[in-house]
């Protein structure tokens, strides 16, 4: 994982705690260093101090999402209003932790973001004209790059890995959501609706009544 924090004491303490928890940690002090690190390394998670000397990390993450990068992101910040948190999520963040924070909670949240199934999926998954590059975490349909959040990418990757099969709602939530996240009953349905809109026509993401969802070129009328 990558930790981006300009406060040397805080960066040292957080990095030490994460390493003690068994996580490999690279460090950066500003956005240019973070950009360079992300260019050469595929991280499981990035923790950004939101307000850095070189700019607001939210704006940088928004640009990452526009370029098709779906690495999970957690923001650390002293900005604690509801509007700040909503903005962080709306512009590409996956989690948001307000300073001062409890280090064990941060470690738990980072573990959740870094958690991945064993790497047995092919580097590129193809479903019709949909191409999912699991190594670069980029998605194209008909050659057009799509902008997905890391959560949307995670759900799509699970479905593509099981293309033509029904995947239950419970499994998708278990594999794609953080254990500490607050879940609404319709959170998956809202995400699927957004994902369908981004994937466009003809539809690839189908509802399997009473079970969950299925990614396939053609909908099975029996489902």
Boundaries of every domain in the chain: 2-114, 124-215
Predicted local distance difference test score (pLDDT) of residue 80: 78
Predicted local distance difference test score (pLDDT) of residue 88: 85
Predicted local distance difference test score (pLDDT) of residue 75: 92
The domain 124-215 having CATH identifier 2.40.50.100: the answer here is no
Predicted local distance difference test score (pLDDT) of residue 220: 58
> What top-level class would CATH report for the domain 2-114?
alpha beta
Whether the domain at 2-114 and the domain at 124-215 fall into the same CATH topology:
no
Which of 54, 153, 139, 34 shows the shortest CA–CA distance to 94? 153
> Token digits for 214?
């299925």
Predicted local distance difference test score (pLDDT) of residue 219: 61
Predicted local distance difference test score (pLDDT) of residue 188: 87
66 touches 146 (CB < 8 A): no
Instruction: Determine if residue 55 is left, alpha or beta; phi over 0 gives left, psi from -120 to 50 gives alpha, anything else beta.
Output: left
> What parts of the chain have a pLDDT lower than 50?
117-121, 179-184, 221, 223
81 touches 35 (CB < 8 A): no
Q: Listing from the earlier edge strand, what are the strands of the sheet with 166-168?
A: 166-168, 212-215, 205-208
Predicted local distance difference test score (pLDDT) of residue 4: 95
């Amino acid at each position: 994982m990558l930790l981006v924090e300009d406060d040397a004491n805080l960066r040292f303490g957080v990095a030490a705690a994460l390493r003690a928890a068994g996580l490999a940690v690279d460090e950066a002090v500003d956005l240019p260093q973070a950009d360079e690190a992300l260019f050469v390394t595929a991280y499981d998670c990035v923790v950004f101090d939101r307000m850095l000397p070189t700019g607001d990390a939210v704006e940088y993450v928004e640009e990452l999402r526009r370029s098709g990068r779906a690495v999970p992101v957690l923001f650390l910040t002293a900005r604690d209003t509801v509007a700040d948190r909503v903005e962080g999520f709306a512009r590409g963040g996956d989690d948001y932790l307000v300073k001062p924070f409890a280090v064990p909670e941060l470690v738990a949240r980072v573990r959740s973001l870094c958690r991945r199934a064993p790497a047995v999926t092919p580097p590129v998954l193809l479903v019709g004209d949909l191409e999912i590059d699991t190594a670069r975490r980029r998605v194209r349909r008909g050659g057009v790059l799509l902008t997905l959040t890391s959560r949307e990418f995670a759900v799509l990757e699970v479905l593509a890995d099981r293309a033509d099969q029904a995947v239950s709602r419970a499994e998708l939530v278990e594999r794609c959501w953080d254990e500490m996240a607050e879940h609404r009953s319709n959170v998956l349905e809202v995400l699927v609706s957004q994902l369908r809109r981004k994937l466009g026509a003809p539809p690839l993401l189908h509802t399997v009544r009473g079970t969950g969802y299925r990614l396939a070129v053609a909908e099975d009328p029996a489902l």
